[in-house]
A and B are shown apart, each in its own frame.
Chain A
Amino acid sequence: MNQHRSPWTRPLAIIGIFFIVLWVLIAIFAPLLAPYDPIAQDFPKFLEPSGDHWMGTDQLGRDEFSRVLYGARISIPLALLLVVLSTLVGATLGAIAGYFGRWADGTVMRFADLVFAFPGIILAMAAAAALGPSLRNAVLALVIVMWPSYARVVRSLILGLRETEFVASSRLLGSSARRTLAVDLRPNAAGQVLVLAALEVGNAVLLLSGLSFLGLGAQPPDPEWGAMVSDGARNFDRWWLGVFPGLAILTVVMAFNFLGDTLRDALDPRTARALRGTP
């Protein structure tokens, strides 16, 4: 029966973890792994992939392979940072909305609704353009776009947990509302938030790359994958310019999606109970 196996042993989980570990290691060790300087324009332009240049060279004579490797040092840490920031902002606002209700709830959720009204990338474009094109501003713009998802999830979790008896006990012992949120409610919400965050990392990578593709995120000469795909789109006949960074994005996003699904299965109380064994 499928229930017997830990979710972590399933093929998708293993693939996901493998790719995440691979890319994280690449991100860390890129300077050692890359054969050439990613921004050095030392080579002939538009070389096809070959023994010297495994992924060819781009329109300015830079080695694609090194650029793809270094790209991990931009996309992955920034995507993670983006998720961490949105989670913190979103979860905190969501918890306040859920626990205190009434005007706190109304205010927070109206702002969330405002954000939800726009397609993510459009809003991110507007924000990034307004702030000025740079990676830092892209991250800020995306935090604005991504925090409401967390707020909504956390709010509904807290609404449910607020009425439980262990919360009442805590209050009766003298816990303030703030302490109850931090000490009692947070561990119960953390699991679901973690799942959401893991699933959102993939989305974050896509949005960051998307903004960079549009010229609103990473600026030249940064070897960011989205920007590299943009170069590939402008030079369609040089297939290697777009395909390799595209594959990088693809594998990273899928890996985090698999991780998120696995986390959800692992933390879902029903599956977890089946694995632990209910009396």
Chain B
Amino acid sequence: MTAAAVQPAAPPVVRAEGLRVLLPSRDGRELAAVDGVDLTVQPGEILGIAGESGSGKTMTALALLGLLPHGARTEGSLELDGVDLLRMPIKQLRALRGAEMAMVFQDPMTSLHPMLTVGKQITEHLRFHSGINKRAAMARATELLEQVRIPDPARTIKAYPHQFSGGMRQRVAIAVALACSPRLLIADEPTTALDVTVQAGILRLLDRLRREEGVSIMVITHDLGVLSALADRLVVMYAGRIAETGSTADVLGYPRHPYTRGLLHALPHPELGSAELRPIPGSPPALADRPPGCPFEPRCSESVPSCAQHRPELLPIGGGRAIACPVDPYAGADDVASEVVTS
């Protein structure tokens, strides 16, 4: 993974400020699935969004694409190349979707059209957005399949998704997504359903595509290993808010927010030997039950009384890092590994 591919000085491809996604609840209230998120994605950067289910990470991506569930309302701003997506008329958004930003989902079996050949899916997409003729579209489709390293593209073009293995289907899904050379590729749990050896191939593919095509990628997953391999920067989300953000090396190597540390401690470590795994006690709050103060406070071993009353702001702490924890108990502490062995 080369940091040289990232262009930090250029204007961001994606900028979210105070983004909130509000969903209507059964009893008429509005619940914030995403509750005040600020983030940016630079050109050529891979941004990882880490979080468990219910953290709001997928909703953030859906907000970008305008694919929020019926009845959802948004607040704040969400820009793609400086243009506000939240207030954009749907026709314009549809033109952007697929062309400037595209998405790859977890299950390629349900995200690819089962009744269309692979070639048709790519060419339909291309011709809808760019109106090129059939021959040019087929040529581009072949080119794309080669880019995603699918063997024998000429034969693949005529085949149907169900004839492929999971890994191959995901490569096809990526090819479809990249057809119109989007600025932003959003990948929501792209490898969760795949075997680990196949996953390795997809991760390498995404990294190479970022370097060769300059596309920015937003990878959303609960799997910290995947993010460690792929992402330049990380955003850790919990209960609709950002807990911590910074470069991947910093956030995973020297986590500061108690939630991030808890997540890493819950994972198996080679250094742990035969000692027990250390899960975070309790579970994330349901959408309707979020506490008024810091959402992580009920499970936090470092909390102080004020944590339950005041919602922490995401504050920069230098070096491109920011955390939402006034207590910040691990400021200047050792990295995760040594912490694990000694405590």
Contact = CB atoms under 8 A, between A and B. Distances in A.
Q: Do chains A and B touch in the complex (CB under 8 A)?
A: yes
Interface of A: 4, 277, 279
Nearest to A4: B26
B90 to A, nearest CB: 24
A279 B26 contact: no
Contacts of B26: 4, 277
A279 B25 CA distance: 11
A279 B26 CA distance: 12
A interface SS class: loop
A5 B26 CA distance: 11
Interface string B332-343: 000000000000
3 contacts: A4-B26, A277-B26, A279-B286
Interface of B: 26, 286
Q: Which 3 A-B pairs have the closest CB atoms?
A: A279-B286, A277-B26, A4-B26
Contacts of A277: 26
Nearest to A275: B26
Nearest to A277: B26
Contacts of A4: 26
B156 to A, nearest CB: 35
Contacts of B286: 279
A277 B286 CA distance: 12
Nearest to A3: B26
B59 to A, nearest CB: 16
Nearest to B286: A279
A270 to B, nearest CB: 15
B239 to A, nearest CB: 14
A163 B286 CA distance: 32
A279 B287 CA distance: 8
Nearest to A274: B26
B135 to A, nearest CB: 48
B194 to A, nearest CB: 24
B56 to A, nearest CB: 15
A4 B286 CA distance: 20
A242 to B, nearest CB: 50
A279 B284 CA distance: 12
Nearest to B27: A4
B287 to A, nearest CB: 8
A277 B26 CA distance: 8
A49 to B, nearest CB: 52
A156 B286 CA distance: 36
A277 B27 CA distance: 11
A279 to B, nearest CB: 5
Nearest to B53: A279
Contacts of A279: 286
B298 to A, nearest CB: 16
B25 to A, nearest CB: 10
A4 to B, nearest CB: 7
B333 to A, nearest CB: 35
A207 B146 CA distance: 69
B211 to A, nearest CB: 41
A102 B26 CA distance: 48
